[in-house]
Amino acid sequence: MSSTEHSVDSNQSACLVHRLAVLLVCLVWPLIWVGGLVTTYDAGMAVPDWPGTYGYNLFLYPYKTWLLGPFDLFIEHGHRLLGAVVGLVAIAIVVTAYLKEPRRWVLVLAVGLLIAVITQGLLGGMRVVLGDRTLAMLHGCFGPAFFALCVATAVVTSRHWRTYLTPSVQGPIGILQLWSAGTLVALSYLQLVLGAQLRHVQPNAAPGGFAMIVATHVILAFLLWFVTMVCWVRIRRCGDLTLTRPAAFLIGLVAVQITLGVGTWVVNYGWPSFLEWVPGSTGFLVRAKGFIDSIIVTSHVATGSLILAVSAMLWIRMLRVRHCRRVAATSGTHEMSEREQKQYGVSDSILKPESA
Amino acid sequence: MPTAAAGQDASDVARELYGTPDEPTWPERSSLQTLPLSTRNLVRAGGPASSERDGTHQGLFREHCVTCHALEGSGAGPASVFQNPYPRDFRHGVFKWKSTLRGLKPTRQDIRDLLVKGIPGTAMPSFALLDPDDLDALVDYVVYLSTRGEVERRMTAAAVDELDYGTELPEAELRLASKASTEGGEVVQQVVDRVHAGWAEAAENEVAAPAMAELKSDELADSVKRGKEFFHGRIANCVGCHGPGGDGSLQTLDYDDWTKEYSTKIGLTPDDHAAMKPFRDAGALRPRLIKPRNLQDGVFHGGGDAASLYRRITQGIAGTPMPAVEVVQESNGKGLTVDEIGDLVRYVQQLSSPQ
């Protein structure tokens, strides 16, 4: 096999890892939605055993009983099935990366992904077996982190990542820009953790502690929104749409999330007193287990995960841009050594497509 | 403190009689069987939330109520501080929205109606979408928590007042006990019987609301006009709290009975932070001034139908400063007749209706 043929083959293999990673992202966000519904409907204990379902193997549980049974059973068993599919895709990513991916650190990342999905499954299973709300909260906190990890895998295995050698940015991607994007990741995850504390609140929790978490959650929401704006302002002229578009998207997404947060509070506890000027608020009736209400609450959870994932994607891409600029600056040329090509997952066919 | 030992013994006896909120039991005493509570319902409503294969939910109170009302029904759940008014503390055995005489317990139907309708403008949801069996279980559990809490509170008071509990424990004969063979046990029996009887007799003490006749437009206008005079008049004096035309513009300086228990009733000022601190540290909520309803926005927490308003005017609202108007046979300057209260009801209903 010639080196050119090998490069093309390697490139296609890396594409397969990327496609699997994208599939994983497309599966995990719905998984977060279904998991959110499980919590919203208090269906976490709808199936008392684990890893089986009412004594059946997870995959052999009668589908008619599942689809036509109680809603709690439907979403809890569905959550488990989807989780199992995610686990299988994670295994496929590890195998594919082991066989074809030239970058060793990507293989390590894929293994980390598999370990993460196993950990998440164990947390969910232990939550059921032990009936423990704290484990449910940990399960709820770990899910978004896993989602962000999936997005990171998809980003680093993408064609854009492998072909991005000539920095096209016009403005600087300095430490401040990196910090603002990193702060977005940290803040959005902290928000998810705080939200999980409210959502999985212990029945004997002190009102003062709950109030403090609520206040922190609200303040950080606006701080997060502010940081998204700062981040966008700082990179808006960099000329790289793969950075400016997610940054702009985040501003809108956090705005939607704040609105959903208000909605979540309203459908759970009614209108807060400082919003009594809103028409109809003084006579608003909270309805327990309403479908639309449940969707509002669950979408708040899912959007939080999406914000984390987009922030992580932006941050990782900025790291990549900064790194490539450094490489270009130190070498004084865009030519890469064989070692560097291997390190960054770059094939000759990408560097010199005319030779392929 | 004298109440510390009494409180501990009362807590122990309450646990012997009623189990815990997570593992509720119902005491086996003859007089208690008059309460139609289902032990199965109590077990279903208590404990951690889960669901059965057939969709039956367990742990209903934790699933639906505990975040506001707290495990033992104290009304000081994690989310309670954000609500105004605070969630109900069941342990006093006092409920606002009911069809019975002011000082008495609500009927089971009153609690069920409240669960189904919810309370507009507050965090109390409508549970209309819940399975009827779930609602019955929650009603039983609310009665259980209220009974358990009130018995414990009354036992503590009786221990200090009647059984010589001081800074030290009294002799064995005088200690609170779940068995009636001692003096302390007899006091417990009396407390339990009294609280249970209150619930058992609630249905017999419903306030009958007269049917309101449909009036023609001119008759209705006259009735509303008379009602307005009563509203702003000396006898009902609704304007004194609800403001002119019921606009809720007046600021009152009063509190509800749940708050007064650890403030004005023991000679403390509710807005004295230092005086309230020990109670706050013990889990009591910060006293808040009570807000008379703005009747013009058409939001009635206890229902805006004629029968509910009639009962509210003639009984007041238990646990709050809202007084009752005396019902008299003939106008005598001290109360209002049934017809006059009907005029007042029509005026209040008209306040929020489109002109």
Q: Which residues of chain B make contact with A133, given a CB cutoff of 8 A?
A: 48
Largest Cα–Cα distance in chain B?
Answer: 73
Which residue among B185, B205, B225 closes a domain? B205
Per-residue confidence (pLDDT) for residue A351, from 0 to 100: 42
Inter-chain CB proximity A211 and B81 less than 8 Å: yes
Same domain, B230 and B115: no
- A133: nearest CA partner in chain B: B48
| Three-state SS at A291 | helix
CA distance A76 to chain B (A): 11
**Averaged over A241-270, what is the pLDDT?**
96
A42 touches chain B (CB under 8 A): yes
Q: Which residues of chain A make contact with B70, given a CB cutoff of 8 A?
A: 203-204
Q: Which residues of chain B make contact with A204, given a CB cutoff of 8 A?
A: 70-71
Per-residue confidence (pLDDT) for residue B31, from 0 to 100: 55
pLDDT score of A335 more than 80: no
Considering only CB atoms, B123 lies closest to which of A42, A206, A270, namely A270
- Percent of chain A scoring above 90 in pLDDT: 71
A81-128 pLDDT tens trace: 999 999 999 999 999 999 988 899 999 999 999 999 999 999 999 999
Same domain, B149 and B227: no
Inter-chain CB proximity B57 and A42 less than 8 Å: yes
A260-289 pLDDT tens trace: 999 999 999 999 988 989 998 999 999 999
Same domain, B133 and B231: no
Q: Are A153 and A24 in contact (CB under 8 A)?
A: yes
A272 touches chain B (CB under 8 A): yes
- Give the burial class of A65: count Cβ atoms within 10 A of its Cβ; 0-12 exposed, 13-18 middle, 19 or more buried: middle
Same domain, B341 and B307: yes
Number of domains chain B contains: 2
- Please report, as a single letter, which amino acid is at residue B38: S
What is the distance between the alpha carbons of residues B251 and B288, in angstroms, rounded to a whole number?
12
Same domain, B159 and B243: no
CA distance A49 to chain B (A): 11
Answer yes or no: is B296 within a domain. yes
For testing contact with chain A, the best of B20, B44, B51 (most A CBs within 10 A): B51
Q: Which residues of chain A make contact with B114, given a CB cutoff of 8 A?
A: none
Across the A:B interface, residue pairs with CB atoms under 8 Å apart total 111
CA distance B348 to chain A (A): 16
Same domain, B21 and B139: yes
Inter-chain CB proximity B51 and A45 less than 8 Å: yes
Range of lowest pLDDT (A28-32, A175-179, A200-204) = A175-179
Same domain, B183 and B48: yes
Answer yes or no: is B284 within a domain. no
Inter-chain CB proximity A203 and B77 less than 8 Å: yes
| pTM score | 0.89
Answer yes or no: is B263 within a domain. no
Which residue among B205, B231, B264 closes a domain? B205
Q: Are B176 and B151 in contact (CB under 8 A)?
A: no
- Give the burial class of A279: count Cβ atoms within 10 A of its Cβ; 0-12 exposed, 13-18 middle, 19 or more buried: exposed
How far is residue B84 from each of residues A138, A212, B75, measured CA to CA in Å?
32, 18, 12
What is the distance between the alpha carbons of residues A98 and A319, in angstroms, rounded to a whole number?
25
Same domain, B60 and B136: yes
Considering only CB atoms, A70 lies closest to which of B54, B80, B283, namely B54
A202 touches chain B (CB under 8 A): yes
Cis peptide before A51 (omega within 30 of 0): yes
Q: Are B174 and B183 in contact (CB under 8 A)?
A: yes
Per-residue confidence (pLDDT) for residue A149, from 0 to 100: 98
Range(s) of the domain holding residue B37: 2-205
Q: What is the ipTM of this complex?
A: 0.90
Range of lowest pLDDT (A248-252, A328-332, B275-279) = A328-332
**Averaged over A49-63, what is the pLDDT?**
93
For testing contact with chain B, the best of A45, A77, A137 (most B CBs within 10 A): A45
Inter-chain CB proximity A71 and B55 less than 8 Å: yes
What CATH number has the domain bearing residue B318? 1.10.760.10
Inter-chain CB proximity A46 and B51 less than 8 Å: yes
pLDDT in tens, chain B (355 residues): 667 889 999 999 999 999 999 999 988 765 555 677 888 999 999 998 888 888 888 999 999 999 999 999 999 999 999 998 999 999 999 999 999 999 999 999 999 999 999 999 999 999 999 999 999 999 999 999 999 999 999 999 999 888 888 877 888 888 888 887 889 999 999 999 999 999 999 989 999 999 988 888 899 999 999 999 999 999 999 999 999 999 998 888 899 999 998 999 999 999 899 999 999 988 899 999 998 999 999 999 999 999 999 999 999 999 999 999 999 999 888 999 999 999 999 999 999 876 5
Q: Please give the angle made by the CA atoms of B50, B56 and B60, to the nearest 5 degrees.
A: 55
CA distance B9 to chain A (A): 22
Answer yes or no: is B301 within a domain. yes
Q: Which residue has the tokens 């206008």?
A: B221
Answer yes or no: is B67 within a domain. yes
How far is residue A22 from each of residues A28, A86, A184, A188, B49, measured CA to CA in Å?
10, 12, 22, 22, 36
Same domain, B31 and B119: yes
Considering only CB atoms, A201 lies closest to which of B78, B120, B128, namely B78
Per-residue confidence (pLDDT) for residue B36, from 0 to 100: 74
CA distance A133 to chain B (A): 9
Answer yes or no: is B177 within a domain. yes
Inter-chain CB proximity A287 and B126 less than 8 Å: yes
Same domain, B48 and B111: yes
Inter-chain CB proximity B125 and A285 less than 8 Å: yes
How far is residue A81 from each of residues A18, A69, A77, measured CA to CA in Å?
23, 16, 6
- B303: nearest CA partner in chain A: A283
Considering only CB atoms, B297 lies closest to which of A46, A72, A282, namely A282
Answer yes or no: is B21 within a domain. yes
For testing contact with chain B, the best of A40, A41, A42 (most B CBs within 10 A): A42
What is the distance between the alpha carbons of residues A347 and B63, in angstroms, rounded to a whole number?
56
Inter-chain CB proximity B55 and A288 less than 8 Å: no
Helix, strand, coil shares of chain B as percentages rounded to 5?
50, 5, 45
CA distance A120 to chain B (A): 21
Range of lowest pLDDT (A135-149, A152-166, A274-288, B24-38) = B24-38
The tokens describing B177, both together, are: 């006990």
Considering only CB atoms, A282 lies closest to which of B71, B130, B299, namely B299
Cα Rg, chain A, nearest whole Å: 23
Per-residue confidence (pLDDT) for residue B163, from 0 to 100: 87
Same domain, B145 and B48: yes
- A130: nearest CA partner in chain B: B48
Same domain, B115 and B163: yes
Answer yes or no: is B211 within a domain. no
